Structure formats: C-alpha cells, structure tokens
Amino acid sequence: MATVRCTRTLLQRTQAAVAEEGRRLVPSRFMRSRQLSSQVSSEHAGKSPALESELDMKMKKLAASMARLKNTPGPDASKLRLMSYGRAANSVVDGAVNFAIFCIISAAVYRRYSEKGVEAQAITKGSS
C-alpha cells in the first residue's frame, strides 16, 4: 500500500513539473480514454485547410478505385472449374513423370549392382 502511495506521489510531482514547464505529457496508460480522445480531437481541429483538402482528394481517389474494383466482373464459374481440372491434370502428369524417373534410376542402380554380384559369384564358382 505504501508503494502505491509513493508511486502516486511521484507521478503527481512529475505531472506538476511538466505542467509548469508547459510541455504536454506523452499519453500513457495512466490517462483516461476521455482525455486521450479530447486530446486527439483538439489536435485534429488545428489542421490546415490545404492538408484537409489534400486528404479529401486522396479519400475520393480511394473511393473511386474501390468502386471500380467492385464493378469489375469476376471469372465465370465454368472457367474456374476448367482451370481447376487443368491444375489437377498437371499435378497427375508431374507425379507420373517423377515416379517414372524414380523407377528408371532405381532400375539402373539395381542392375549395376546386381551384375557385379552375378559376375563375382560366377568368378568364385568357376575358380573353385
């Protein structure tokens, strides 16, 4: 409890010192949301008219581009289905090619090592 009182006292002293110097406090978690919202609204009230008109123009451009995007037609359902079938066929073909390459390499490795084994057995049987 004493720690809370000490902290509150230090905070009040800091706020008083800052208020005397005329600086504004940085928003912290100790400030209430009403204080922050009024502070933000007072900061927005002091904006220049040129800045506001520039901001309005940017907002209008953004609204126009969003409206243009909403009006563009999406792809047809049959076209999407056909594209999906095409991707599935490509996947099947790719898988078959990969499997064929794996089988060819496996057969070549097996043949190479099995021939050496057969030759070695023939040599040992023939020499005995």
pLDDT digits (tens, 9 = 90+) for 94-115: 999 999 999 999 999 888 888 6
Please name the residues in contact with 25: beta carbons below 8 A apart, sequence gap of 6 or more: 15, 18, 31
84 or 7, higher pLDDT: 84
How far is CA 53 from its chain centroid? 33
Our CA angle for 66, 71, 73, nearest 5°, is 125
Q: How confident is the model at residue 92 (pLDDT cuts 50, 70, 90)?
A: very high
Contact call for residues 27 and 39 (beta carbons, < 8 A): yes
Q: Give the pLDDT of residue 121.
A: 61
